[in-house]
Amino acid sequence: FIYDKRDGGVNVRRIENKMGIKGSPTCELTYKDAKAELCGSRRLGLIKYVMALMNGARLGIAAQSVGVSELAYREALAYARDRKQFGKAIIEFPAVYEMLSVMKGKLDASRSLLYECARFVDMYKVYDDIAKERSLTPDERKEAKYYSRLADALTPLAKGMGSEYCNQNAYDCIQIHGGSGFMKDYACERLYRDARITSIYEGTTQLQVVAAIRHVTTGSYLNLINSYLETEVKPELQSIKERIRVLADMYAKAVEQVGKV
Ligand SMILES: Cc1cc2nc3c(=O)[nH]c(=O)nc-3n(C[C@H](O)[C@H](O)[C@H](O)COP(=O)(O)OP(=O)(O)OC[C@H]3O[C@@H](n4cnc5c(N)ncnc54)[C@H](O)[C@@H]3O)c2cc1C
């Protein structure tokens, strides 16, 4: 619906007092006898408009999560290089170095998922735009459907995993700061609070699992992994590719079992 606030009928209940993202005020709006006009077509509200809105917003939160992860990693890295204990920088302790490596792995994984998902969204949206000017050919329709399905499959993964990883990275960022991380003097304390919302709004992580599960059982993710396995990789990545192949085989067997059930 489109609503003009000059017509009245809408009230702000109150500005919420939140744990984090304090730079962005949040409030509940109450509508009473508020005049509004329908925009778009009837019967498409939930399945088309709301789902499109939510998928777009989820991609946005996946991007927000990558941003939080990136800052958590940078803050932790800078502190680990600077802070000296027992005569050396704490980054030289394997326990600290390992925490940083795991943080970087989670950050890179979240970013890759985000970019790949955004690529799929771009691909099908291009066809949406073309379809406004002319009819799509059968091949184009098929490709648009293919990318739309992939975008559908990757959005809950990018949002769910990205948000959980950014929370874990914010946690480890504080850990690397030691006692100082618990104080409000460092950015990591704010980051820890700001990260928390990402796995809640625009659908909690549990709801992302609900959205992703059918792509597990129908094999969308498996097909995608198999398509990656067909691409050439640098020799130093070959061993990782082989490990992924073993996991993909296990996954294929599991999907087969689900099919039998
Ligand atoms: C700062 C902030 C800003 C927000 N901004 C907006 C906004 O702009 N617009 C808007 O519309 N909303 C907004 N929200 C609302 C937000 O999207 C919801 O709070 C969020 O989606 C979770 O819904 P809920 O609070 O009703 O939790 P509930 O649905 O009550 O969930 C409670 C718990 O149950 C679990 N759960 C619920 N259903 C299932 C299920 N089917 N399977 C498994 N587990 C389940 C959840 O994962 C969670 O752990 C905002 C919230 C916050 C905190």
CA of 193 to the centre of ligand 1 (A): 17
Q: Is the pLDDT of residue 258 over 90?
A: no
Decide: 190 and 232 in contact? Cβ < 8 Å. no
> Quick one: pLDDT at residue 132?
93
The predicted-structure confidence for 131-177, as pLDDT tens digits, reads as follows 999 999 999 999 999 999 999 999 999 999 999 999 999 999 999 99
Q: Please give the residue range of the domain that contains residue 104.
A: 45-211
**What is the number of the ligand 1 atom nearest to the C-alpha of 206?**
47
Q: Is the pLDDT of residue 259 over 80?
A: no
CA of 206 to the centre of ligand 1 (A): 10
My answer on whether 147 and 230 are in the same domain is no
The number of distinct structural domains making up the chain is 3
**Residue bearing the CA closest to ligand 1, atom 15:** 201
Helix (H) or strand (E) holding 162: helix 138-177
Residues with a CB atom less than 6 Å from ligand 1: 18, 26, 197, 200-204, 206-207, 210
Relative orientation angle of helices 94-133 and 138-177, to the nearest 10 degrees:
150
The predicted-structure confidence for 70-104, as pLDDT tens digits, reads as follows 999 999 999 999 999 999 999 999 999 999 999 99
My answer on whether 54 and 167 are in the same domain is yes
The predicted-structure confidence for 171-213, as pLDDT tens digits, reads as follows 999 999 999 999 999 999 999 999 999 999 999 999 999 999 9
My answer on whether 6 and 73 are in the same domain is no
My answer on whether 173 and 225 are in the same domain is no
**Residue bearing the CA closest to ligand 1, atom 53:** 201
List, by residue number, the catalytic residues.
Answer: 202
pLDDT band at residue 231, thresholds of 50, 70 and 90? very high
Q: Strand, coil or helix: what is 2?
A: strand
My answer on whether 83 and 182 are in the same domain is yes
**Residue bearing the CA closest to ligand 1, atom 18:** 201
Tokens of 6: 């000059």
